[in-house]
Structure 1
Amino acid sequence: MRRTPRESADSTRKITRRGLMLGGAQLAFAGVLGLRMHHMQVDQADEFRLLAEENRVNIHLIPPSRGRIFDREGRVIADNEPTYRITMRREDAGDVEDVIRRLSALVELDEKEVARALEEMRTSPPFLQVTIADRVSWDAISRVAVNAPALPGVTPEVGLSRFYPQHQTFAHVVGYVGPVSDRDLARYEDPEPVLRIPRFQIGKVGIEAKFEDRLRGSAGAKRVEVNAVGRVMRELDRREGEAGADMQLTVDSELQDYIKARLGEESASAVVMDVENGDVLAIASSPSYDPNKFVRGISVKDYGELRENNHRPLASKTVQDAYPPGSTFKIVTVLAGLEAGIIGPDDTVYCPGYLEVGSRRFHCWKRAGHGHVNLERSLRDSCDVYYYDLAMKVGIEKIADMGRRLGLGAAPDVPMSAVTAGLMPDKEWKRRERGAEWLIGDTVNASIGQGFVLTSPLQQAIMVSRVATGRAVSPRLVRSIGGIESPSGAGAPLDIDPQHLRWVRKAMFSVSNSRRGTAYRSRIIADDMRMAGKTGTSQVLNRVVRNSDVPWEERDHALFVNFAPFEAPRVAVSIVVEHGGGGSSTAAPIARDITLQALYKGTPPLDAYPASDRGRIQAQQERLERERRARAEEEGRRA
């Protein structure tokens, strides 16, 4: 059908209008698109450039080097050693189990460690690195590095781990480090990012824990470029962290090692203090343990053996345990009597072997009695009745006050774990803690260091240091940190009459140097090294029984405290041998040997010992030296 000219003209007008509308729409779209592109490419260029950078650049934390710990002579106690580990990042790995399967063909993996790592990856953010294998060999690291393209998300790393070169010697002092746990993180309101680095180590006990913030240092950071699958291509820049502060302790490694050997298999503790400045020269608990096992992850078997050992190798006996001080506490009681003006050095008390208090009879250790006893003889012979009688006249309040002046009843300020305050009881304490009134029998028991009185070996060393110097000597365990010297523990003069202290020191001299003294067999005969001391035996069972007739764990504790040289005191020593029997027979010989070792700063000459002892001492010295060498060789092989 042919169109009329009019119809053709109308059709042409419609097509032209539609074309104009479509063209206008296209032009408008192109304009909007152009404006958008201009906005993104020009106005938002910096923002998108930053996003692109973040997609190809990762920031990794660099763990800081932990501060090292040295003894007073600069010998290393806690060090850092390089270790190799293999980590994995879940977001980069893709199929984690497939990657682990390929990795296991190259490196021997522990199934338990792999299971732990998989669980950690499941509960951790996908970008967090998780350790698959720790402490692997250099050969294993090399194989992983060569096969890196086939192991997405896997990174071979070198790091630092804590190492204790002296193994058991300072375990109870320095403590140990271990990987950060959820419990550790819970202690921080806002944990530092460095604490989330895989297997990052922090202090768990001892000085490592007490000075964690100073020893840890601060983390560094590095920016690395990664490809589309997250493989590191190159390091762009690095900001090194700040290493932790180094520490120097007051302890002497050689003296500490000697004490460890001298204590042997005993369940015992020993403290040696410099009485001039309070420096703790040695502080040893026996038996001990190897802290390196905890750093590397102690096995259930090894930990079980430590826990089940009735000699308690995990306990820091020098500061954590408190014992009845036994007759060493008589120093406190007699000073309280002197300060109260109740006795003088020549006043005597008659000892028939017991003292009746009400309806109860309190016995002296010597059943036949000591006869008439004055101050010097009371300490020399350790007469109990003298102190029973004196305590009832003085009263517990004055005795407790003297004990506190000598450092008892308060936790010593040393950076070790679970430091006990011991117990210096009085009437108010018993009323508050026991809901009962103080009895005269409580005072009688306290006078000879039994009943409620409890002291730690370190407190005993403080007590005898104060008696030796007449000053409020305080223990100093940290000599310096970060090169800054710690304050001296010399202390101010005590509020005790110097004459009274001289009388007590003279009586302590008789304990070790008079033929009738309880520690005479353990005396030092070198004139310029003679010691003054006091024996002690604290009951474990409240009954009269011979130690040989009961099991080991029911026997009495043996104690000894001393200072030397008598004329110019330099060191104070405190010894506790758990269930060791008598202080004079067990603790005093150990204390004498340690005292000489400290004074001579090494093996003392045989002529410092009584002639009758020299053959035994020489054999003992040779045996201890052989044992120390064998132990050093064994520890070297293990290291």
Structure 2
Amino acid sequence: MRRPTRDNAESQRRITRRGLIIGGAQATFVGALALRMRFMQVDQADQFRLLADENRINIRLIPPARGRIFDRNGAVVAENVPSYRITMVREEAGDVDEVIARLARLVELDPGELERARRDLRELRGDTPVTVADRVTWGDISRVAVNTPALPGVTPEVGLSRRYPQGRDYAHLVGYVGPVSDRDLENIDAPSQLLLIPRFQIGKIGLEARQEDLLRGKAGSKRVEVNAAGRVMRELDRREGQAGADLQITIDNSLQSYVHARLAKESAAAVVIDCDTGDLLTCASAPSFDPNLFVRGISVANYRALLENKYRPLPNKAVQGLYPPGSVFKMVTALAALEDDKADLGETVYCPGHMEVSGRRFHCWKRAGHGNVDLHRALRESCDVYFYEMALRTGVEKISEMARRLGLGVQHDLPLTSVAAGLMPTKEWKLANRGQEWVIGDSVNASIGQGFVLASPLQLAVMTARLATNRNVTPRLIKSIDGVEQPTGRGEDLGLNENTLREVRKAMFAVSNDRRGTAYSSRIIEDAFRLAGKTGTSQVRNITAAERARGVTSNADLPWERRDHALFVNFAPYDNPKYAVAVVVEHGGGGSTAAAPIARDITLQALYDGDPPLSAYPAKDRGRISTQQEELRRTRPKGAPDGSDRA
């Protein structure tokens, strides 16, 4: 049956309308597609060309050369040496396990190092170069280079590694570097990409850590072209980074080496400071350790040996070791009393061998007593009772104030880790920290550097330099940065009464040059170089009344850890102070027998800029000193100067 003409016409209109709609939609889609293609191919051509290049071009960081460290005379203390290593990039390697298996046939891979590399390859970004083998030989590098077609993503590289040619002599001062750890990253706000490179090294302790920003430098970058397998085909361009700053420190390498040799077999510390500039010429802690062991990761056995050593080689005793200063503190007590007009230079105090204070007996080291003593004799023979009396008159607040004025109880600003502030106690301090009121016996103990008083060898050297010059001498460790001289620590006038100081210095001179002085056996014979000093012996145990009644046990009969600490401070020459020295020998016994001879030898070594002539020593000691000098020359590191070739 035929459809009406009207229906056919209507149907035709509908088909035409739909065709137009569909055609319009198609035309719109094709037009939009054409516009999009034009936009991508013309307007965004440069961007997509860059994205295409990034599929075949990698940008890699170039670690900067770390700044070097030199001693005051230009001797190298920390340097960079070439180091061969093999790296792998996960994205370029493909099957990592297969590539490592092939590599292992060519190069011996350390299991522990390989395990760390596998972990880094899993966890780090795929384009990060990971060190698979470090400190390999040139032969290993050659074999890998020849077989690169079979080792996608593997690259033999030549980098730089830190080396400390002086070994143990600078371990505590300069410190060492090591790979960046997770803990390091946690302590750094917004760490740079440079720090995220596996095995990248930063300073861990000492100068290396405190001057990290200066020494690290700034990274460079290079663009390399890689093929489909990820193998580097060529280097397209390179932007060199900025090497770290070179530091020159104030330490004298020859003297530092000598001091470490002289302190051998002791648990001790020694500091030598230039009285004019504040330069630290020596800052030694013994025993020491080889910092090179830490650069690539010290073994468990070696680290355990350091931890279990009773002489504690890891801490820097010179700046963070705190000790009761004992009798070397007596100059502080004397100056506090004299400056506060609580005593005068001519008066005497009677010493019967003890003093009764609030029902407690405080003893002098000399059981029979010293009789009537003035300031000069009290310092020369180290009478305790005289200083007990000065403390009762003056009070602990004035004594602590004078101590801080002389550099004790102060955290000196040095670029070293764990520089201790020491402790100069006050009534307020005891109440806040011990929850107890200050008692008069505390002042008596503090007057002779015992009780709560604590000081480091560095602080004692600073104190001695200030006593010698009446200036606010401040210790300086960095002499120059990239050749630019740094401010000295000469300091302004302390403002102490010069007449009073002169008498204190005279008494210190008598300590070493008067037959009744406690350090007479460790004097210097050469008139131009005579020293002024003070012995100290600080107790580390309580002596009971029963022990005193039967006789105090000698240090020689006690276990090492219960013996007294031995201390000695001095400056020289007496008439024109050039160097101040502080020596602490842990559990060494008496300051006059253990610390004073070492300090005298160090002082002479500094004054003569090398081994002094035997004529500088007392005649009875010259044979022993000659043998000692020869032994020390043999035990010092090979290549260390001994001054024997100097006029």
Task: Tell me the TM-score normalized by structure 2.
Answer: 0.93
Alignment-derived partner of residue 542 in structure 2: 542
Alignment-derived partner of residue 602 in structure 2: 594
1:222 corresponds to 2:222: yes
SS in 1 for 2:612: coil
CA-to-aligned-CA distance 1:612-632 (integer Å, 9 cap, x gap): 111111111111112226697
Residue 626 of structure 1: which of 601, 614, 634 is its match? 634
What is the rounded CA distance, in whole Å, between the counterparts of 2:357 and 2:261 in structure 1? 45
Alignment-derived partner of residue 68 in structure 2: 68
Alignment of 1:61-100 (within 5 A): 61-100=61-100
Q: 1:475 to 1:35 in 2, by over 3 A?
A: closer
Alignment of 1:180-579 (within 5 A): 180-543=180-543, 544-579=552-587
Alignment-derived partner of residue 15 in structure 1: none
What is the rounded CA distance, in whole Å, between the counterparts of 1:335 and 1:449 in structure 2? 14
SS in 1 for 2:574: coil
What is the rounded CA distance, in whole Å, between the counterparts of 2:118 and 2:160 in structure 1? 24
What is the rounded CA distance, in whole Å, between the counterparts of 1:199 and 1:26 in structure 2? 59
Deviation at 1:389, TM superposition (A): 1.2
Alignment-derived partner of residue 49 in structure 2: 49
Alignment-derived partner of residue 11 in structure 1: none
Alignment-derived partner of residue 623 in structure 2: 615
Question: Letter of the aligned partner of 1:420 in structure 2?
Answer: A
What is the rounded CA distance, in whole Å, between the counterparts of 2:315 and 2:427 in structure 1? 31
Question: Letter of the aligned partner of 1:55 in structure 2?
Answer: N
Query: How many positions carry a matched residue from both structures?
Result: 618
Task: Tell me the TM-score normalized by structure 1.
Answer: 0.94
What is the rounded CA distance, in whole Å, between the counterparts of 2:295 and 2:446 in structure 1? 43
Alignment of 1:37-186 (within 5 A): 37-186=37-186
CA-to-aligned-CA distance 1:136-165 (integer Å, 9 cap, x gap): 111101111111110111111111111000
Alignment-derived partner of residue 3 in structure 1: none
What is the rounded CA distance, in whole Å, between the counterparts of 1:575 and 1:40 in structure 2? 77
Question: Letter of the aligned partner of 2:608 in structure 1?
Answer: Y
CA contact (8 A) 2:257 2:637 kept: no
Deviation at 1:600, TM superposition (A): 0.6
CA-to-aligned-CA distance 1:173-211 (integer Å, 9 cap, x gap): 000000111111112221111111221110000000001
What is the rounded CA distance, in whole Å, between the counterparts of 2:342 and 2:422 in structure 1? 28
Q: 1:346 to 1:120 in 2, by over 3 A?
A: same
Q: 1:430 to 1:91 in 2, by over 3 A?
A: same
CA contact (8 A) 2:166 2:637 kept: no
SS in 1 for 2:305: helix
SS in 2 for 1:289: coil
Question: Letter of the aligned partner of 1:556 in structure 2?
Answer: D
SS in 2 for 1:402: helix
Question: Letter of the aligned partner of 1:260 in structure 2?
Answer: H
Q: Which runs of 5+ in 2 are unaligned?
A: 1-18, 544-551, 642-647
What is the rounded CA distance, in whole Å, between the counterparts of 1:545 and 1:215 in structure 2? 52
What is the rounded CA distance, in whole Å, between the counterparts of 1:422 and 1:24 in structure 2? 89
Deviation at 1:482, TM superposition (A): 2.1
Deviation at 1:43, TM superposition (A): 3.0
SS in 1 for 2:168: coil
What is the rounded CA distance, in whole Å, between the counterparts of 2:479 and 2:638 in structure 1? 31
Question: Letter of the aligned partner of 1:437 in structure 2?
Answer: E
Q: Which runs of 5+ in 1 are unaligned?
A: 1-18, 634-639
Deviation at 1:545, TM superposition (A): 2.8
CA-to-aligned-CA distance 1:395-428 (integer Å, 9 cap, x gap): 1111111101100111111111111100000111
Deviation at 1:435, TM superposition (A): 1.0
What is the rounded CA distance, in whole Å, between the counterparts of 1:20 and 1:272 in structure 2? 100
Deviation at 1:51, TM superposition (A): 1.4
What is the rounded CA distance, in whole Å, between the counterparts of 1:30 and 1:389 in structure 2? 106
What is the rounded CA distance, in whole Å, between the counterparts of 1:29 and 1:454 in structure 2? 86
SS in 1 for 2:73: coil
What is the rounded CA distance, in whole Å, between the counterparts of 2:44 and 2:181 in structure 1? 44
Alignment-derived partner of residue 547 in structure 2: none
Question: Letter of the aligned partner of 2:358 in structure 1?
Answer: G
What is the rounded CA distance, in whole Å, between the counterparts of 2:538 and 2:499 in structure 1? 29
Alignment-derived partner of residue 8 in structure 1: none
Segment of structure 1 superposing worse, 125-134 or 305-314: 125-134
Q: 1:49 to 1:552 in 2, by over 3 A?
A: same
What is the rounded CA distance, in whole Å, between the counterparts of 1:172 and 1:395 in structure 2? 38
Question: Letter of the aligned partner of 2:52 in structure 1?
Answer: A
CA-to-aligned-CA distance 1:441-493 (integer Å, 9 cap, x gap): 00000010000000000000000000000001010011011222111101111
Deviation at 1:497, TM superposition (A): 0.6
1:606 corresponds to 2:614: yes
Deviation at 1:37, TM superposition (A): 4.6
SS in 2 for 1:169: helix
Question: Letter of the aligned partner of 1:572 in structure 2?
Answer: A
What is the rounded CA distance, in whole Å, between the counterparts of 2:329 and 2:352 in structure 1? 22
CA-to-aligned-CA distance 1:219-261 (integer Å, 9 cap, x gap): 0000111111211111110000000000000000000000001
SS in 2 for 1:418: coil
SS in 2 for 1:467: helix
CA contact (8 A) 2:604 2:612 kept: yes
**Residue identity (%):** 66
What is the rounded CA distance, in whole Å, between the counterparts of 2:181 and 2:380 in structure 1? 54
What is the rounded CA distance, in whole Å, between the counterparts of 1:39 and 1:440 in structure 2? 90
What is the rounded CA distance, in whole Å, between the counterparts of 1:30 and 1:606 in structure 2? 104
Segment of structure 1 superposing worse, 621-630 or 138-147: 621-630
What is the rounded CA distance, in whole Å, between the counterparts of 1:585 and 1:67 in structure 2? 43
What is the rounded CA distance, in whole Å, between the counterparts of 1:42 and 1:261 in structure 2? 75
Segment of structure 1 superposing worse, 427-436 or 23-32: 23-32
SS in 1 for 2:636: helix
CA contact (8 A) 2:254 2:640 kept: no
